Amino acid sequence: MLDLLIKNANLPDGRTGVDIAVDKGRIVEVGPRLALQAEREIDAGGRLVTPPFVDSHFHLDSTLSYGQPRVNQSGTLLEGIELWGEFKSGLTVENVKARAWELCRWAIARGTLAIRSHVDVGDDNLLAVEALLELREEIKPYIDVQLVAFPQDGYFRHSPNAANLERALNMGVDIVGGIPHFERTMAEGAASIKALCEIAADRGLQVDMHCDESDDPHSRHIETLTFHTQRLGLHGRVAGSHLASMHSMDNYYVSKLLPLMAEARIHVVANPLINITLQGRHDTYPKRRGMTRVKELMEAGVNVAFGQDALMDPWYSLGSHDMLEVAHMGLHVAQMTGDEQIQQVFAAVTSNGAKVLGLEGYGLEPGCHADMVILQAANPHEALRLKPARLFVIRRGQVIAETPPVISRLDLADVTYEVDFHFPTESN
């Protein structure tokens, strides 16, 4: 007898009426009306079953620190960095772990079971690194956590960061990070990319770099990152996060840049909520929104994923770690409202993110890990529209979170109605 059988599911690729058989933590069979028995059966009832959501860009060390030491009044990236610099002087391993664990509970409840988190290496004691390495191991049964060694104050700008980054990697941090646009000059930014990519190449690691998180159309570090990816043979192992300046770049220049990025197999991680919050702060009107060219990148063959980035911290004062909220905003800002485009946006918080992280066994095919989410929605379009309840969150074949269906009951003129905001054609 199998461990779990999910019946009558709709899948993100459009298949309907599908059963999913699970045994020993793996999917063993997928098909209509499977004549199988299991210890537990869940009737999806024509609802969407998806692989878990993936947050491709987050900061677990700063999350849930809102208001400490004070609120970011300007709403700018630079004030956020200043506030974080003040706050992190009082960090403890216990405090970082407690906040990160709470955030991960939120993530599980929302169906996010993989997070790539940047961790600041600017503290010479590397307390945040120690805390998140411990968290990564403790939470492994529930969430895949990857850590990026991130020199928040600059690789060259803050002189201890070069040694601290190497120490963090030696401790077990997974990925090399950077922030070239925060170096003192464009030249030092370019030099930091070269140095950091060479470290990754020497160690056989991936790169995930905060890149061009700026409204300056001349902030073009993604070009340099693409060049060194090509030079060092890092194809498919490099992600450029944010790329906000591409929003403001000359169109001709971008037309040259996009095929180079596709050739180097650069991954791009946009962060819609934070990008449109931090960028454009120096504009009057027209006011730039700052999110990179998601649609154009996808059309060029570049893998684009979305991240939450920040949540209740010095940079972003809102959020509940709902990747569908992130995708919902990304869809609007990128103006991706066509049927195929909506599918692409849904992929940006699922399968595209899995490609960025290099997750093994991700998906809904036989042999994949039995990690999935059952949503109170019929398909990706409805999921993005409603940001619905995660009815079941399943990890390695075990239900680890449940949420009751959300239904409103109305009493109108002695008649009772139930409203779930379902649009009939979305499930037909």
Active site residue ranges: 213
Residue 140 near residue 169 (C-beta atoms within 8 A):
no
Question: CA 185, CA 192: separation in Å to the nearest integer?
Answer: 11
First CA to last CA distance, the chain? 33
Order of strands across the sheet that contains 26-31: 26-31, 18-23, 2-9, 38-43
Taking alpha carbons only, the member of 363, 422, 411, 418 closest to residue 389 is 422
**What is the crossing angle of helices 127-138 and 93-109, to 10°?**
40
User: Cis (ω within 30 of 0) for the bond into 404?
Assistant: no
Sign, CA torsion 370/114/330/393:
positive
Question: CA 36, CA 260: separation in Å to the nearest integer?
Answer: 49
Taking alpha carbons only, the member of 159, 166, 219, 165 closest to residue 189 is 219
User: Cis (ω within 30 of 0) for the bond into 286?
Assistant: yes
Question: CA 15, CA 134: separation in Å to the nearest integer?
Answer: 40
Residue 238 near residue 267 (C-beta atoms within 8 A):
yes
